[in-house]
Amino acid sequence: MTTIDNLVHFETPAHSVAPGPDSLGAILVASGKITARDAVRVMELQQREGWRFGEAAVRLRLISERDLVQALNRQYDLPELLPENDGASAELVTAYQQYHPRTEELRALRTQLLIRWFRRPGVERHVLAVVSPGNGEGRSYVAANLAVLFSQLGERTLLIDADLRNPRQHRIFNVPDRVGLGAVLAGRAGTEAAVPIPGLHNLMLLPAGAPPPNPLELLSRPALPALFTEYLADFDVILVDTAPALRYSDAQTVSFRAGSAVVLAHRNHTRVADTNRVVRDFSNSGTRVVGTVINTY
């Protein structure tokens, strides 16, 4: 996945540091990272050298770089999972590492989706399927991280794992999968099967649940578009993970019901002909393909 964005450092310059409750110094004091006396030392160095508050605190070895990143995330209300959080996969780079190069690349993808899909005139159903021709191309990884990024914008985001063949989202987010999409489509559960993700407000996950014997038949039922409609009353963005598009018809069915899809290909792994075939087949069936993403990792 290529990136265009530059890293934006969110700290304010030295002369604009305010002593209010939302200032970086106040956040560090409230979290116990520094004392009020330490804050005075930092401000003295900050004013003398013209540094930012966080930079001065790091130079004085009062906090670590990690402490600074956590404080900045709190200052700008960016939800983040901490390394000590048990369970959630390290694949959630956008939740664990706000300033990682891959996070910036995924933010660039989110920006393109905002332009081409989410804020495009005439688009009323904000449901997007994430598809790819085969296995090992990063569908679940991209879908999970995009869900985190949309939630960080303040959009009420739902991620649905519609890969009823080999679901992964429950493992990525470390949530139970006893009840999920399969049970909802079979009429054995309701929309309450979606679960919140601890530490990431605005984000919920509907796992796939126990693998059913008839995935395509379940996904082809009128219950799926009805489910999308019902969830759209409570969510701004719905992202849908899918099964490999050239191995099963599941992804085409889900994408048609969703209305829009983004196609993922992996460099040096996915055949160009396979990617073109997915784009052509989905477009011919009435799905709007908003773009193709080349995954490089």
Q: Do 22 and 164 fall within a single domain?
A: no
Would you say residue 84 lies in a domain?
no
Closest Cα partner for 292 from 103, 119, 100, 137?
137
At residue 14, what are phi and psi to the nearest 5 degrees? -60, -45
> Which domain, by its residues, includes 40?
14-75
Same domain for 98 and 234?
yes
Distance CA 281, CA 13 (A): 52
Residue 176 resides in a domain: yes
Same domain, 246 and 108: yes
**Does a structural domain hold residue 7?**
no
> Please, are residues 147 and 226 in contact by the beta-carbon 8 Å criterion?
no
Q: Of the candidates 297, 281, 295, which has an alpha carbon nearest to the alpha carbon of residue 248?
A: 281
Count up the domains in the chain and report the number.
2
Cα–Cα distance, 117 to 74 (Å, whole number): 29
From residue 265, alpha-carbon distances to 45, 208, 234, 262 in Å are 50, 23, 31, 10
CB 54 within 8 A of CB 70: no
Residue 267 domain-assigned? yes
Query: Residue 118 corresponds to which amino acid?
Result: F
What is the spatial distance between Cα 51 and Cα 135, in angstroms, rounded to a whole number? Answer: 49
d(CA 117, CA 239): 12
Query: Which CATH number belongs to the domain containing residue 103 in this structure?
Result: 3.40.50.300
Q: What is the pLDDT of residue 18?
A: 41
Any bridge partners for residue 116, and if so which?
none
Residue 1 within any structural domain of the chain: no
**204: in domain:** yes
Give the pLDDT score at 31: 82
Which amino acid appears at position 190 of this protein?
G
- Is the same domain home to 153 and 62? no
Residue pair 181/195 in contact (Cβ under 8 Å)? The answer is no
Indicate whether 61 and 97 sit together in one domain: no
Sign of CA dihedral 213, 177, 234, 287: negative
* Residue 81 included in any domain: no
Q: How far apart are the first and last CA of the chain?
A: 7
- Could you tell me if 108 and 57 lie in one domain? no
Amino acid identity at 127: V
Tokens of 290: 């908003």
In this structure, what token pair is assigned to residue 117?
Answer: 């899909």
End residue of a domain, out of 25, 45, 75: 75
The neighbour count for residue 165, using CB atoms within 10 Å, is 17
Residue 258 and residue 199 share a domain: yes
130 and 167 share one domain:
yes
Q: Give a yes or no: residue 86 inside a domain.
A: no
pLDDT values of the chain reduced to their tens digit, one per residue, 297 residues: 543 333 333 333 333 334 455 788 888 888 888 898 998 998 888 888 888 888 888 888 888 876 776 677 676 666 555 444 456 788 888 888 877 899 999 999 999 999 989 877 766 679 999 999 999 999 999 999 999 999 988 899 999 999 999 999 999 999 999 999 999 999 999 999 999 998 788 999 999 999 999 999 999 999 999 999 999 999 999 999 999 999 999 999 999 999 999 999 998 899 999 999 999 999 999 999 999 999 887
Residues 101, 134: contact at Cβ < 8 Å? no
**Could you tell me if 62 and 113 lie in one domain?**
no
Task: Please check whether residues 186 and 49 belong to one and the same domain.
Answer: no
pLDDT at 221: 95
Q: Are 222 and 253 in contact (CB under 8 A)?
A: no
**Whether residues 108 and 65 fall in one domain:** no
Reduced to 3 states (helix: H, G, I; strand: E, B; else coil), residue 176 is coil
Same structural domain for residues 236 and 209? Answer: yes
Note the pLDDT of residue 20: 57
pLDDT at residue 86, as a whole number: 52
